[in-house]
Amino acid sequence: MAVSEVGGREVEAQIREQIVPTAESWVARAGRRFDAGETDVFVVLRARQRLAEARVTLVEAEDRLDLICRSAREPELIR
pLDDT by residue (tens digit) across 31-58? 888 888 877 778 788 878 878 888 887 8
Q: Total structural domains in the chain?
A: 1
**Within a domain: 44:** yes
**Within a domain: 55:** yes
Q: Which of 18, 20, 7 is nearest to 65 (CA)?
A: 7
Dist. CA 76–CA 10, nearest whole Å: 23
Helix (H, G, I), strand (E, B) or coil at 34: helix
**Within a domain: 69:** yes
| CA geometry: angle 79, 11, 57, nearest 5 deg | 95
**Within a domain: 79:** no
Dist. CA 51–CA 49, nearest whole Å: 5
Per-residue pLDDT at 7: 62
